[in-house]
Amino acid sequence: MFDQSILKNMMIPSAIISVVKIIEHHGFEAFIVGGAIRDAFFGRVPNEFDLATNATPSDISNWFHVVSDAGKKYGTITIRHERHIVEITTYRQDADYTNGRHPETVVFSSTIMDDLTRRDFTMNALAYSPITGQFIDNFGGVEHIRSRRLVCVGKPLDRFSDDMLRPFRCFRFMAQLGLVVSPSICHALATLSTRLVLPSMLRIRHEMDRLLMGQYWQSALGFMQKMGWWDPIINAAPSAPSMPLPNDRLFRWAWALSGTNLPEVAKKLEFSKADIRFMAHVLTWQFDEAAIYFNVNDLCVTSTELIQMGFQGPALGQVQGDLVRLIREKKLNHNERDVFDYLNNRHSQPE
């Protein structure tokens, strides 16, 4: 038996309950599904509450203010209700996947069980009605959460073949939640690594962003490499970090890409130019946060003081750049006495 109080203490926003009531008022049903319930059982505070319903996307569009219907052909409508953004998806059945990411056609269903049966992992195949208190867990999701095991709904090879982003979600959940995977998942990952049909690099990177910020990120990356899923994305494995890396996404990406042609691989992963520049900067200064973030504005000598010393025009920018570089390289102590001694001894006659 699971603890009913976990669901009762989920701190479900009143707006979510209101949406469910409106759907039920029109003669349909709606359940909170997936991540919010999973997080509650892991002792985490849910921050998103997605709903599944037997109402159609057109029904939802008629009843609520629509924020986005970009996912309408897959059954998802994003609404705004009482200042909350909520994704509502119509129950779906399994259909044939031909591109390794999306089904060729979407078949709507009238039953929640059809919808839960097509989900990726048992811990995500949970449903809860905040109105009736009905809780559905037909695949042992709660028990798998308790034992911290990641188990697929159905056969992993089928689940992963249907949607090739799911293996990356697997690695991400391992990193975030410290989960172990079933032998059948290991077999599926190893099998599919020899015939990868990758989803978009941007979608992969978004999963990797979350993986790298997980508490168990290094062990998850090690498993990803062992299963053969690292090289097709990043064709060189970095050596183990020589120091604890900051809890920062771009620092960890810089480390992950440190054995590659960073600009080329980062561009393939659709990083912005600003992010690529920053990661290159991180590698230049070898993850030293003090050096990385130190800039001209942090100097203890002001532009006005430098101008008064005779540094003007290009010479002003040059001396400021020299000071920043020397302080970053720890060849000059950053205090007024040492900085002014350096300026008087080395730069008193600017070119």
Task: Tell me what pLDDT residue 5 has.
Answer: 81
Calpha distance 256→218 (Å, rounded): 10
Calpha distance 128→142 (Å, rounded): 13
CATH topology of domain 1-139: Beta Polymerase; domain 2 (3.30.460)
Calpha distance 33→38 (Å, rounded): 9
Tokens of 251: 């620092």
Minimal CA–CA distance to 181: which of 166, 193, 194?
166
Asked if 229 contacts 167 with a C-beta cutoff of 8 angstroms, the reply is yes
Asked if 13 contacts 53 with a C-beta cutoff of 8 angstroms, the reply is no
Q: How far apart are the first and last CA of the chain?
A: 80
Q: Which helix (H) or strand (E) holds 78?
A: strand 76-81
Minimal CA–CA distance to 75: which of 110, 100, 49?
110
Burial bucket for residue 344 (CB in 10 Å: 0-12, 13-18, 19+): exposed
CB within 8 Å of 137: residues ≥ 6 apart: 2, 125, 126
Domain ranges (residues) in the chain: 1-139, 296-346
CB within 8 Å of 283: residues ≥ 6 apart: 254, 258, 262
pLDDT tens over the chain, length 351 residues: 556 788 878 889 999 999 999 999 999 999 999 899 999 999 998 889 999 999 999 999 999 999 999 999 889 999 999 999 999 999 998 665 555 555 667 899 999 999 999 999 999 999 999 999 999 999 999 999 999 999 999 999 999 999 999 999 999 999 999 999 989 999 999 999 988 788 899 999 999 999 999 999 999 999 999 999 998 888 887 887 777 888 999 999 999 999 899 999 999 999 999 999 999 999 999 999 999 999 999 999 999 999 998 888 898 999 999 999 999 999 999 999 999 999 988 655 544
